[in-house]
Amino acid sequence: MKNKEGKLNGKIALITGAGSGIGRESAALFAREGARILVCDINEEAGRETVNIITSEESEAFFVKADVSNAAEVKELMKSCVNHYGTLDVLYNSAGVYFIGKDGPVTEVDEKVWNSTIAVNLTGTFLCCKYAIPMMMENKAGSIVNMSSISALVGDAPVAYSASKGGILSLTGRIAASYAPYNIRATALCPGLIETPMTKLRFDDPEFLESYKNKIPLRRTGKPIEVAHLALYLASDESSYVTGAAFTIDGGLVAL
């Protein structure tokens, strides 16, 4: 592989949910910035496609299939990281689910939808942090970037998704405070509406989309690469004095 100079030069980055959307864009960007990538996704075909994108640009990546809500699989994921790269510098928890049309008000949400949403979004983030942090403690350095949402800050989404993303904010704060003595930083991304496969139903609804855009000061929705660039800053040493913070990337919606 070609040596690269960039904001993540020489870093090892594990990105969950890297088979599509924000995760894929972030994986490709991180690789272009010099990182070696562990691509993780539950969808093997999509994950391997991300690896192919990265390696076609003469960067290094390999794929591990894992369900982040399963502790045994997360443990094996971290073992694979150690076996392949020897260490871990950046953990980016991008994996998530949003059951549009099935999630809703608290009195109407099916318990299966609630449990599945919490399992992947919140428990998955918890498990990846739990089993990645010991590696970072050994290095006395590390950056954790967790995917939350503006739904954690404002009531613009159904209850299960909002609750899971709110939990991620609290989890991020506790990790930042607990592991700062080891120079481990933890931050959270809070995107607004971003065009990804997960939000396709929203973008397939012209009436909803037009109404939503009219609420956004910048009058448009976001792109995965825009979130990826913010994640890159938080993963890199450029943000070395940043921890415990949540960053909105929503076109100004929360500012209203």
Handedness of CA 112, 63, 144, 70 (dihedral sign): positive
Task: List, for residues 120-155, the tens digit of each pLDDT value.
Answer: 999 999 999 999 999 999 999 999 999 999 999 987
CA distance 143 to 180: 10
Q: Is 182 a catalytic residue?
A: no
Of the candidates 85, 98, 161, 179, the residue annotated as catalytic is 161
CA distance 206 to 1: 44
Bridge partners (DSSP) of residue 190 are: 248
CA distance 233 to 151: 22
Average of per-residue pLDDT across 188-211 = 93
Q: Are 187 and 247 in contact (CB under 8 A)?
A: yes
CA distance 242 to 240: 6
Contacts made by residues 51-59, CB under 8 angstroms, sequence distance 24+: 53/24, 53/28, 54/27, 54/28, 55/1, 57/28, 57/31, 57/32, 58/1, 58/2, 59/1, 59/2, 59/4, 59/31, 59/32, 59/35
Average of per-residue pLDDT across 221-245 = 98
Q: Are 69 and 63 in contact (CB under 8 A)?
A: no
| Predicted local confidence at residue 236, as pLDDT | 98
Task: List, for residues 18-52, the tens digit of each pLDDT value.
Answer: 999 999 999 999 999 999 999 999 999 999 999 99
- What is 23-66 written as a DSSP string? HHHHHHHHHHTT-EEEEEES-HHHHHHHHHHHHHTT--EEEEE-
Q: What is the CATH number of domain 12-245?
A: 3.40.50.720
Token duo for residue 5: 């100079």
pLDDT confidence band for 229 (50 / 70 / 90): very high
Q: Rounded mean pLDDT of the chain?
A: 96
| Predicted local confidence at residue 256, as pLDDT | 82
CA distance 204 to 98: 15
